[in-house]
Amino acid sequence: MAPAFPSSARILVVDDQEDILLAARLLLKQHFASVQTLRDPSRLADLVRQNAFDVLLLDMNFAMGADDGAEGLRRLTEVLTLDPNAVVVLVTAHGDVELAVQAMKHGAADFVIKPWENERLLATLISAANLRRSRLEVAELRSRNRGLAAATHTETELIGNSPAMQGVFETIRRAAPTDANVLVLGENGTGKELVAREIHRRSRRAAEVFLRVDLGALSPQLFESELFGHRRGAFTDAKEDRIGFFRAAAGGTLFLDEIGNVPLHLQSKLLTAIERREVVPVGAEKSEPIDVRLICATNLAPKGLVDENVFRQDLLYRINTVEILLPPLRDRREDIPLLLEHFIALYAQKYNFPIKRLSATALDLLVAHAWPGNLRALRHAVERAVILSEGPLLEAADFPLTAPPNGARDRAVPEDNVPKLDAMERSTIGRALERHKGNVSRAAQALGLTRASLYRRMEKYGL
């Protein structure tokens, strides 16, 4: 029984023998949306320029009596130069297998031996079509990440003159050019992702993809599938092959956020992938090599990471070759005026407003504030003030801060001073965060909120 195939794939068969082209066309048109044949290889480049073929089935020898595969290799190079994501399957005689293997080292995806077996040919082409789809997905992901990085660079700029931040910058400067694994520690909102992006920007992989994965948002049931990929039919909803995050970030940087919240039984699977530099997609029989720069982050306190009941020590040793501890905003108050100036200019430009000045009273208030939400809360407060304030001066009243300056986190908003519904909401959110050990993604999921919505409420109630 023939296997199922992607119905939308487009195939080009290139061979100088008409009977081979006819046999291929009759077989393949039953399984693929489009099957085109070409007898004259000199027209191959023009066809590739004009069409988006998913798979090229290319003969290795065209000239009468030729058996060295030279023209096939030349056409292979020509195609890959025009389209680096092209997937080429070579057609070769029995005696040319060694040559075909060499051609695969130069970019061919696979080879088949003629006269071919129909089942073997179809199986090879379905794998090739899935490879093409995977390559296009990775190319699209890289393009989107580059555009996102360019669009958000000003907003995600690391800023600070305090001694603590100067230490962070120095560690980034030293670690970025290497491929060493980096672990970033810090409270929610301190800028762990900013550090990861800055390391990537200064690394040798800067031109490649930066892929962020929120491990706290992955369900345990889909953990392996999302990270390592899966094969079609591996489980009920696996309707097609899918590459995982590790392979999607190939050549670039993979940022694993909230790694401290991964359950212990899944930490072992993550450790195996990192140690062996390979992943096994769910439903696959063999492993796939991976090439990523790994940066991890967690809001767990260092003492939580050394607890064997919370985090595997062998995994910790693998991910913290370099460790960066980001200070909370309350421990680097001297940076707040600089950050305020940056965010005011940023949001004035974003909303096409004139740049507003900050009154001395407002500055004193903002510098003295505890900022339990750290940079994220500060940025949000400035954005709201820029939008809603009237006049050229930002006053203290434009920053309705809920937590008292220098107030403790659990005393930020006394429940006696808020409306009853607010008190109930604050209590519910507090319990959810406690139940999920500070994991914002899981708490938001349990509450039926998005992470952004939960962060806004946490800021509102000083949680």
| CATH number, domain containing residue 455 | 1.10.10.60
CATH number at residue 38: 3.40.50.2300
Q: Which amino acid is at 443?
A: A
Burial of 286 per CB tally in 10 Å (0-12, 13-18, 19+): exposed
The answer to the question of residue 74 being in a domain is yes
| Same domain, yes or no: 342 and 355 | yes
pLDDT tens profile 224-250: 999 998 888 888 777 788 889 999 899
**Domain-located, residue 347:** yes
Which amino acid, one-letter code, is at 96? Answer: D
Decide: residue 150, CB within 10 A, 0-12 exposed, 13-18 middle, 19+ buried.
exposed
Edge-to-edge strands, sheet with 322-325: 210-214, 253-257, 293-298, 182-185, 322-325
Number of domains in the chain: 4
Is residue 1 included in any domain, yes or no? Answer: no
Cα angle 153, 251, 199 (rounded to 5 degrees) comes to 40
Domain endpoint, select from 280, 303, 327: 327
**pTM greater than 0.75 (yes/no):** no
284 with 232, same domain: the answer is yes
DSSP 235-300: STT--S-EE-HHHHTTTSEEEEETGGGS-HHHHHHHHHHHHHTEE--BT-SS-EE---EEEEEE-S
Tokens of 251: 């050549």
**Same domain, yes or no, for 323 and 208?**
yes
What is residue 323's three-state secondary structure?
strand
In what helix (H) or strand (E) does residue 328 lie, and over which residues does it extend? none
Question: Who contacts 88 (Cβ-Cβ below 8 Å, separation ≥6)?
Answer: 55, 56, 58, 76, 79, 80, 107, 108, 109
Count of residues making up the chain? 463
Rounded alpha-carbon distances, angstroms, from residue 135 to 31, 44, 151, 248, 249: 21, 21, 24, 9, 11
With 0-12 / 13-18 / 19 or more C-beta atoms within 10 angstroms meaning exposed / middle / buried, residue 189 is buried
**DSSP state string for 128-195:** HHHHHHHHHHHHHHHHHHHHHHHHHTTTT-----SHHHHHHHHHHHHHTTS---EEEE--TTS-HHHH
User: CA 90, CA 75: separation in Å to the nearest integer?
Assistant: 11
Does the residue 144 lie in any domain?
no
Residue ending a domain, choose from 327, 344, 363: 327
Whether residues 108 and 213 fall in one domain: no
**Position with higher pLDDT, 63 vs 127:** 127
In a domain, residue 4? The reply is no
pLDDT digits (tens, 9 = 90+) for 73-126: 888 889 998 988 889 998 887 666 677 777 787 788 888 888 888 988 998 898
pLDDT in tens, 329-382: 999 999 999 999 999 999 999 999 999 999 999 999 999 999 988 999 999 999
Listing DSSP states for 346-366 in one string gives HHHHHTT-PPPEE-HHHHHHH
Instruction: Decide if 9 contacts 32 (C-beta within 8 A).
Output: yes
One domain, residues 295 and 434: no
CA–CA separation, 422 and 415 (whole Å): 8
Other beta carbons less than 10 A from residue 277's beta carbon: 12
Taking only the tens place, the pLDDT of each residue in 377-422 is 999 999 999 999 988 999 999 998 865 444 444 334 444 444 556 6
Does residue 14 lie within any of the structural domains? yes
Neighbours of 40 (CB within 10 A): 9
- Can you give the CATH number for the domain in which 165 is found? 3.40.50.300
Q: Say if 421 falls within a structural domain.
A: yes
Q: Using the 8-state DSSP alphabet, how is residue 415 labeled?
A: G
Domain identity same for 35 and 131: yes
Q: Are residues 186 and 314 in the same domain?
A: yes
Q: Do both 270 and 405 map to the same domain? A: no
Question: Could you report the per-residue pLDDT of 133-158, keeping only the tens digit for each?
Answer: 878 877 776 666 655 555 444 455 78
Cα torsion 338, 341, 345, 350 to 10°: value is 80
DSSP string, 206-246: TTS-EEEEEGGGS-GGGHHHHHHEE-TTSSTT--S-EE-HH
Bridge pairing between strands 293-298 and 210-214: unpaired
**Domain membership of residue 363 as a residue range:** 328-409
147 lies in some domain: no
Q: Decide which of 135, 162, 191 is a domain's last residue.
A: 135
382 lies in the same domain as 280:
no
Q: Residues 332-341: pLDDT tens digits?
A: 999 999 999 9
CATH number for position 386: 1.10.8.60
Which pLDDT value is given to residue 420?
59
Same domain, yes or no: 60 and 191? no
**Do 349 and 372 lie in a common domain?**
yes
Q: Check whether residue 300 and residue 426 sit in a common domain.
A: no
